[in-house]
Amino acid sequence: MTREKPPGRSWESWTEEQIREAQAEGQFAGLAGKGQPIPGLLDPYDPLWWVKKLIEREKLSVLPAALEIRARVDHGLEAIRTLPREAEVRDAVAALNAEIARVNRSTAEGPPTSLPPLDVEAVVADWRQRRQGG
């Protein structure tokens, strides 16, 4: 429980005393980021910095569903190229196709979705060609 500031003490002296006590007890030892520069400290001021950090931290999307699915498919295809087995490629394409179908049937706002399902055999053929170095 936090102690209350004693009457007649300035906030500054009371705060400094608490900091000194915490330092003496070792409460500041081993903190994450110790000795590192504060991220963004020298960046120009951005009044929406907290919104951008929230979006980044929570991995939120601000894109309409029709655009977000295109980005997901692009990232998914990049990831598929690195998979080691054909069965994993087929599973990943099936998962992307399920996501495309879900967005195509449920998007109610933003631009319409017109992304067709991926051709599994074409994606597998591309994956094989890349694996063979062609």
Sequential pLDDT tens for the chain (134 residues): 467 888 888 999 999 999 999 999 999 888 888 888 888 888 899 898 888 888 889 888 777 888 888 889 999 999 999 999 999 999 999 999 999 998 888 867 777 777 899 999 999 999 999 888 76
* Residue 101 forms part of a structural domain: yes
* Residue 7 forms part of a structural domain: no
User: CA-based angle 43:47:52, to the nearest 5?
Assistant: 80
pLDDT at 1: 42
* Residue 125 forms part of a structural domain: yes
pTM over 0.75: no
Domain that holds residue 74: 65-131
* Residue 18 forms part of a structural domain: no
CB crowding 78-110: b at 16 or more within 10 Å, else e: eebeeeeeeeebbebbeebbebbeebbeebeee
How far is it, in rounded angstroms, from Cα 76 to Cα 95? 10
pLDDT at 2: 62
* Residue 112 forms part of a structural domain: yes
pLDDT at 63: 78
DSSP state of 98: H
Q: Domain total for the chain? A: 1
* Residue 32 forms part of a structural domain: no
Q: State how far the alpha carbon of 73 is from the alpha carbons of 69, 94, 99, 117, in Å.
A: 6, 11, 9, 10
* Residue 103 forms part of a structural domain: yes
Nearest residue to 125 (alpha-carbon basis) of 99, 86, 98, 92: 86
User: CA-based angle 104:106:112, to the nearest 5?
Assistant: 50
How far is it, in rounded angstroms, from Cα 61 to Cα 58? 9
